[in-house]
Amino acid sequence: MTPEALLNLACKGLPKVGRIIWQYGDLSLSEYVQTLVPEAGIPSYQSRKDLLEVVYHYIEPLLGPDAAKAAVQGLEAHPVVLAAPHFGVEYFAQTFQGRLIFSLSALKKHISTRLTFARGNIPLNNAVYPRGALIYKGRPENMDHLPRRLPIFPARLKRTIVSATPAFDRDMVDRAGASLSRMAEEQHIPPGVCDALHLILEDIYKSPSVLGLSSYSDQSVVVNQLIWKRIFKCMDKAPESICLEFERIAGRLLKVDLFNPQSLAGLILFDPDLRGHVLAELDGVGGC
């Protein structure tokens, strides 16, 4: 089939994709990103001050005060985050490409840091595979087996929720490295991919700043940031991309709002009339 025929087939199966291509197909990717968020900010019921404080105190102990300050400044100047991905060390192609595209808007707006709020309420064996690494390159005859999975965590933890997963340790990383070498020896993956992943395991996963953390959630923040920096180490103006766990942010904000009787969460929880209306409106709605 020709590329045009394949594209038409994709658009037929995914009407939203077809609509976007029809509406924005003449724009470059960088130009299209600018259409996703209106220039005029959406009015907020509450001040964003609490969110900025939560984000700062989340990032500061993991990545340092400079990274936390830059993240908060970017969020305050342009209060938009990427919120589609699932949380964990990110190898899943679609969501990683989403972060790349999202970061383009930071270049246009001269913002140094973009934030992703990713969902941690998923198991390690989720399709995005937070349990380990996904490898997308292999021999042509093995294409049906791609992406290959390289586990970091043992099978006994594969159904553990990312938010509740303990930190990986040096032994887990060593076992992953041995498995990686076997995959290369058996020619399931190219030597270059094997070398690159070994470098990531040795230099990033085994870094004291990573192994010294107490949870996989915290490790994911640091590992994702270190990999991102490694990818763009030759680019002076590449924006930073920091991935945070959505549930942790939401939980900390709820703690603050429970003590504020005028907050939206406080009113919904403690005003009987409003609570009744909210429950009635959401009854039967998917996801509620």
Domain extents in the chain = 3-27+48-280
Give pLDDT, residue 38: 64
Closest CA to 176 of 210, 156, 206, 146: 206
Q: How confident is the model at residue 152 (pLDDT cuts 50, 70, 90)?
A: very high
Residue type, 259: F
Give pLDDT, residue 237: 79
Angle value at C-alpha 70, between 64 and 75, nearest 5 degrees: 125
Q: How confident is the model at residue 148 (pLDDT cuts 50, 70, 90)?
A: very high
The stretch 1-20 carries a mean pLDDT of 87
Residues contacting residue 78 through CB under 8 Å, at least 6 positions apart:
37, 105, 109, 111
Measured from the Cβ of residue 92, the count of other Cβ atoms closer than 10 Å reads 20
Please count the residues of the chain.
Answer: 288
Contact 149, 177 (CB under 8 A): no
The two beta strands, 240-245 and 113-118, are parallel
State the alpha helices, DSSP H only, in 110-206: 170-185, 191-200
pTM of the predicted model, to two decimals? 0.89
3-class DSSP state of 117: strand
3-class DSSP state of 277: helix
Cα–Cα dist 178/188, whole Å:
14
